[in-house]
């Protein structure tokens, strides 16, 4: 990895990943692309390690022509794709934005990578497109069900998870149809620094501090799996280093 494009790098997981990568890889330059919507904040990027190896680009992955220009201009050899609409409740209220960002946006990035790496004959070089997905594409588990694995059939149950499942299928299609070297990870709920306060753990903490009610979802018996964001970042870095497309 020399020139890494991180999409959604001003968001919660993306900002943590950039911090991890700049510390772990002393020769990498990170190009951080973020549209700075409600969940992306430049404050998440204060005091980065080796700031001179970080370039911020404010742009939306919906803009396909700009994705092509950015990939070429900076000679990108690695894409780590975090940028997504990710809040289930928001997807129920307005699903169109989730399809546009999560499906069309991912398509634009795949097309830019295909143009730069396949058309230009660079597929045999060490290039990689890593797509960050979610375990919600597998649906929900009943009490006593075995845990999801990569072999679990897809069964999304919200517009959000359906849009992420769609983007996963596009990535796999680009692997099989064009030979684009891609990997996918499906993570569970993350928690940790810089998380947007609409998410469950920071919401509960802030409500408790302010003496506000703590919302109970469903009948209160639902179970969630949690992953600390720094562990997730290390896992993605390991996949970039050793994962097979």
What DSSP state is assigned to residue 200? H
Catalytically annotated residues: 135-136, 160
pLDDT at 38: 75
Residue 119 reports pLDDT greater than 90: no
Place of tokens 């950015």: 70
Say how far residue 224 (Cα) sits from the centre of its chain.
Answer: 19
Query: Would you say residue 89 lies in a domain?
Result: yes
- Domain span at residue 172? 3-196+227-242
Tell me the average pLDDT of the chain: 92
CB 136 within 8 A of CB 156: yes
Q: What is the pLDDT of residues 33-92, one digit of tens each?
A: 999 987 788 999 999 989 999 999 999 999 999 999 999 999 999 999 999 987 777 778
- 242's tokens: 């050793």
Query: Would you say residue 132 lies in a domain?
Result: yes
Q: What is the pLDDT of residues 144-191, one digit of tens each?
A: 899 999 899 999 998 899 999 999 999 999 999 999 999 999 999 899
Query: Would you say residue 171 lies in a domain?
Result: yes
pLDDT at 86: 74
CATH number of the domain at 175, please.
3.40.50.720
CB 112 within 8 A of CB 71: yes
| pTM, two decimal places | 0.91
- Strands, E, within 17-172: which ranges? 29-34, 54-58, 78-81, 128-134
Query: Would you say residue 116 lies in a domain?
Result: yes
Count of domains forming the chain: 1
Q: Which of 19-28, 116-125, 187-196 has the highest mean pLDDT?
A: 19-28
- 115's tokens: 């143009």
Query: Would you say residue 212 lies in a domain?
Result: no
**Residue 91 exposure: Cα atoms within 13 Å on the Cβ side:** 19
Query: Would you say residue 221 lies in a domain?
Result: no
Query: Would you say residue 220 lies in a domain?
Result: no
pLDDT at 40: 83
Q: Which residue has the higher pLDDT, 55 or 142?
A: 55
Q: What is the pLDDT of residues 192-209, one digit of tens each?
A: 998 888 788 888 999 999
pLDDT at 218: 78
CB 159 within 8 A of CB 212: no
Confidence of residue 121 (pLDDT cuts 50, 70, 90): confident
CB 232 within 8 A of CB 190: yes
Query: Would you say residue 211 lies in a domain?
Result: no
Among 67-71, 135-139, 157-161, 216-220, where is mean pLDDT lowest?
Answer: 216-220
CB 133 within 8 A of CB 167: yes
Torsion over CA: 71, 150, 227, 96 (sign): positive
For residue 185, how many other CB atoms are within 10 A of its CB?
17
- 96's tokens: 């169109």
């Amino acid at each position: 990895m020399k020139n890494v494009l991180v999409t959604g790098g001003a968001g919660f997981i993306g900002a943590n990943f950039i911090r991890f990568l700049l510390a772990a890889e002393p020769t990498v330059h990170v190009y951080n692309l973020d549209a700075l919507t409600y969940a992306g904040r430049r404050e998440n990027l204060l005091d980065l390690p080796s700031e001179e190896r970080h370039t911020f680009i404010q742009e939306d992955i919906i803009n396909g022509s700009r994705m092509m220009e950015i990939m070429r201009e900076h000679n990108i050899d690695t894409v780590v794709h975090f940028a997504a609409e990710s809040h289930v409740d928001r997807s129920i209220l307005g699903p169109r934005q989730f399809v546009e960002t999560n499906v069309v946006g991912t398509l634009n990035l795949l097309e830019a990578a295909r143009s730069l790496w396949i058309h230009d004959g660079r597929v045999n070089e060490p290039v990689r497109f890593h797509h960050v997905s979610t375990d919600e594409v597998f649906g929900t588990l009943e009490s006593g069900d075995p845990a999801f694995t990569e072999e679990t059939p897809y069964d999304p149950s919200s517009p959000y998870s359906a849009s992420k499942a769609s983007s996963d299928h596009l990535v796999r299609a680009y692997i099989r149809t064009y030979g684009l070297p891609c990997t996918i990870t499906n993570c569970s709920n993350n928690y940790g620094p810089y998380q947007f306060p609409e998410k469950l753990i920071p919401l509960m903490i802030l409500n408790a501090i302010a003496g506000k009610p703590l919302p109970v979802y469903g009948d209160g018996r639902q179970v969630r799996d949690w992953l600390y964001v720094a562990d997730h970042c290390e896992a993605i870095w390991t996949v970039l280093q050793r994962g097979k497309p």
